[in-house]
Amino acid sequence: MPQSAETVLDYARLFREPEYQEMFARKKAEFECGHPDQKVVQIGEWTKSWEYREKNLARQALSINPVKACQPLGAVFAAAGFEGTLSFVHGSQGCVAYYRSHLSRHFKEPCSAVSSSMTEDAAVFGGLNNMIDGLANAYALYAPKMIAVSTTCMAEVIGDDLQAFITNAKVKGSVPQDFDVPYAHTPAFVGSHVDGYDVMVKGILENFWKDREHVHTDRINIIPGFDGFCVGNIRELKRMLGLMGVKATVLADTSDQFDTPSDGEFRMFAGGTKLEDVRAALNAKATLSLQEYCTRKTLEYVEGKGQQVKAFHYPLGVSATDEFLMEVARLAGKGIPEQLRLERGRLVDAIADSQSYLHGKRYAIFGDPDFVYAMARFVLETGGEPVHCLATNGNKAWEEQMHTLLASSPYGKGCNVWAGKDLWHLRSFLFTEKVDLMIGSSYGKYLERDTGTPLIRLTFPIFDRHHHHRFPIMGYQGGLSVLVKILDRIFETLDAESSETGTTDYAFDLTR
Ligand code: SF4
């Protein structure tokens, strides 16, 4: 065997050795019962056609690689943004392992969450005992300041009532009567992680705001929404607010929880919105959401409490950041500081400098509704054409917002908006209506290999590249960072296409 103590091969190289290649070929021949290679190639080619695209679009009862996660994952992410808060997911243990691993693989940080470990007996008789024991264990073992409860499919299918269960658990002494245990039902068979985020933030606000009246102050609340770039983005948000001299409470501040230092101390809980600030946030004059589709129910609740509310679509780039900052300035009665004006001008300058490469580039964009909206808006600002905009968890309202956005620019003409479609649909679109670049998550790498469309990783989850989330993509500075990522990919592609010695290298230029 090629593997030995002297030569330890990484699996990527090891499996190319003859012994493994022979084993793979034998397994394929003996166990896979596959079709002849020629037939596989023939069908593969057919799946690139318009005929197959029509059949693919007619598909109804099956999703293939949907661009979304389930509700409780969003709830676990939201809960991580509050001081000393432990996520407790009522339901099956395997589901919670998935949320933890999904978040850890993206942030390269540990993600703590516990489950009530429901199994067959709880599925038949209900999970009350699991809740009673689970809350007691979680409280005793991990000493959180708050336990935020959400649910998996299993608990929702049998109809477990969280409010009654938590009340019962408190009566049984699992946690003190006055201990904060906000909750949110997060049925995973409807909606997506953005809805889970929404109901968990709402649940936490309700926990602290119930039976209290709004007393007006000049503070502002900001809810960032589900964001794989939260570490860089929330810090950038605070920097901009600091420059403006605006006092704001970031509700669900996940920036420290997913970026703990290596200094010999394990922090199960790091940073997060202080619980006293959540309580005080009731009295803010306004709550702004950076992502409409992550906060629809939350903002409805906040408005009902007497605050002004406004939602944005992941403000990045020039006009979206302008809009956000102007609203903050209006609410806070502040001006836009010179520093931010300069940053804006520099972003505009950078876009202008690279115009000859950006103009007319065609894009496919996939991800959550607000992210896709934001990227399409920025692409239009650069003179690019967002040809395919896809959000599996998008709805009719989002489609209409997208069409309005696209109609606002000559570069948006003829662009497609795909709500409810998945990455197998996108594969058909990329073969039949080609684009120059694709913006999305790591899941796009299979489409990149299949269709040859260069991928720019700019949204959750990014598993196969490291540390991108530590840098902002919101605001003017974030826009600059996105611009550089786009341009790098354009230049890398251009270099790769013009590197054949003596044939295409007349364009393998040092200066671009
Ligand atoms: S969809 Fe349901 S079963 Fe699957 S991970 Fe989410 S909660 Fe668990």
- What's the rounded Cα separation, in Å, for the pair 493 and 453? 10
Task: Tell me which of 71, 76, 92, 195 to substitute to probe ligand 1's pocket, judged by most ligand atoms within 8 Å of the beta carbon.
Answer: 92
- Name which of 205, 170, 168, 212 is nearest 184 in CA terms: 205
| CB contact at 8 A, 474 and 250 | no
CA-atom Rg of the chain in angstroms: 25
Q: Coil, strand or helix: which one is 366?
A: strand
Range of 186's domain?
A: 71-209
The set of protein residues with a Cβ atom below 6 angstroms from ligand 1 is 70, 72, 95, 98, 152-153, 188
Phi, psi of 254 (to 5 degrees): -90, 5
Distance of CA 437 to the CA centre of its chain: 20
Q: Do residue 227 and residue 355 come from a single domain?
A: no
Q: What is the pLDDT of residues 281-334, one digit of tens each?
A: 999 999 999 999 999 999 999 999 999 999 999 999 999 999 999 999 999 999
Q: Do residue 119 and residue 151 come from a single domain?
A: yes
pLDDT value at residue 179: 98
Q: Quick one: which H or E segment has residue 289?
A: strand 286-289
| Residue 157: active-site member | yes
Q: Do residue 79 and residue 205 come from a single domain?
A: yes
Q: Do residue 196 and residue 174 come from a single domain?
A: yes
Q: Coil, strand or helix: which one is 387?
A: strand
Question: Is residue 37 a part of any domain in this protein?
Answer: no
| CB contact at 8 A, 458 and 439 | yes
State the distance between the two ends of the chain, measured CA to CA, in whole angstroms: 48
> What CATH number should be reported for the domain holding residue 379?
3.40.50.1980
At 372, which amino acid appears? V
Q: Coil, strand or helix: which one is 417?
A: strand
Q: Do residue 79 and residue 173 come from a single domain?
A: yes
Question: Is residue 506 a part of any domain in this protein?
Answer: no
Among 318, 340, 362, the domain-final residue is 340
- What's the rounded Cα separation, in Å, for the pair 421 and 426? 8
DSSP for 85-118, please give it. EEEEEES-HHHHHHHHHHHHHHHSS---EEE---
Give distance in angstroms: CA of 161 to centre of ligand 1. Answer: 18
* Active-site residue, from 67, 95, 153, 372: 153
Query: Using CA positions, which residue lies closest to atom 2 of ligand 1?
Result: 153
Q: Coil, strand or helix: which one is 365?
A: strand
Q: Do residue 467 and residue 358 come from a single domain?
A: yes
- What's the rounded Cα separation, in Å, for the pair 461 and 98? 13
Question: Is residue 41 a part of any domain in this protein?
Answer: no
Q: Do residue 458 and residue 443 come from a single domain?
A: yes
| CB contact at 8 A, 362 and 376 | no
Atom in ligand 1 nearest the alpha carbon of residue 71: 6
Burial class (CB in 10 A: 0-12, 13-18, 19+), 153: middle
| Residue 389: active-site member | no
- Name which of 331, 334, 208, 351 is nearest 280 in CA terms: 208
Q: What is the pLDDT of residues 153-194, one digit of tens each?
A: 999 999 999 999 999 999 999 999 999 999 999 999 999 999
Question: Is residue 50 a part of any domain in this protein?
Answer: no
**What is the 8-class DSSP label of residue 291?**
B
Among 180, 209, 238, the domain-final residue is 209
Q: Coil, strand or helix: which one is 87?
A: strand
Query: Using CA positions, which residue lies closest to atom 1 of ligand 1?
Result: 188
**What is the 8-class DSSP label of residue 507?**
G
Query: Using CA positions, which residue lies closest to atom 8 of ligand 1?
Result: 95
- What's the rounded Cα separation, in Å, for the pair 159 and 172? 21
**What is the 8-class DSSP label of residue 373?**
H
- Print the SS3 string covering 314-355: CCECHHHHHHHHHHHHHHHCCCCCHHHHHHHHHHHHHHHHCH
Task: Tell me which of 150, 152, 393 to substitute to probe ligand 1's pocket, judged by most ligand atoms within 8 Å of the beta carbon.
Answer: 152
Question: Is residue 9 a part of any domain in this protein?
Answer: no
| CB contact at 8 A, 423 and 65 | yes
Quick one: residue 354, left, alpha or beta (phi over 0 = left, psi -120 to 50 = alpha)? alpha
Question: Is residue 350 a part of any domain in this protein?
Answer: yes
| CB contact at 8 A, 473 and 374 | no
Q: Do residue 405 and residue 362 come from a single domain?
A: yes
- Name which of 236, 258, 273 is nearest 85 in CA terms: 273
Q: Do residue 333 and residue 346 come from a single domain?
A: no
- What's the rounded Cα separation, in Å, for the pair 148 and 80? 9
Give distance in angstroms: CA of 278 to centre of ligand 1. Answer: 29
Give distance in angstroms: CA of 150 to centre of ligand 1. Answer: 12
pLDDT value at residue 1: 65
β-pairing, 416-419 vs 286-289, is unpaired
Give distance in angstroms: CA of 73 to centre of ligand 1. Answer: 9
Among 294, 325, 340, the domain-final residue is 340
Give distance in angstroms: CA of 304 to centre of ligand 1. Answer: 32
Predicted structure pTM score: 0.96
Q: Do residue 195 and residue 251 come from a single domain?
A: no
- What's the rounded Cα separation, in Å, for the pair 111 and 100? 5
Long-range CB pairs of 261-270 (<8 Å, 24+ gap) are 266/110, 268/86, 268/112, 268/142, 269/83, 269/84, 269/85, 269/86, 269/112, 269/144, 269/145
Domain tally, the chain: 3
At 367, which amino acid appears? G
The number of beta carbons lying within 10 Å of the beta carbon of residue 297 is 15
The low-confidence residues of the chain, meaning pLDDT below 50, are none
Question: Is residue 303 a part of any domain in this protein?
Answer: yes
* Active-site residue, from 8, 157, 171, 231: 157
| CB contact at 8 A, 283 and 214 | yes
Residues 6+ apart with CB under 8 A from 58: none
Q: Do residue 335 and residue 353 come from a single domain?
A: no
Give the angle subtended at the CA of 432 by the CAs of 429 and 434, to the nearest 5°. Answer: 80
| CB contact at 8 A, 371 and 341 | no
pLDDT value at residue 4: 85
Q: Do residue 379 and residue 303 come from a single domain?
A: no
Task: Return the bridge partners of 113, or none.
Answer: 87
Question: Is residue 283 a part of any domain in this protein?
Answer: yes
pLDDT value at residue 251: 98
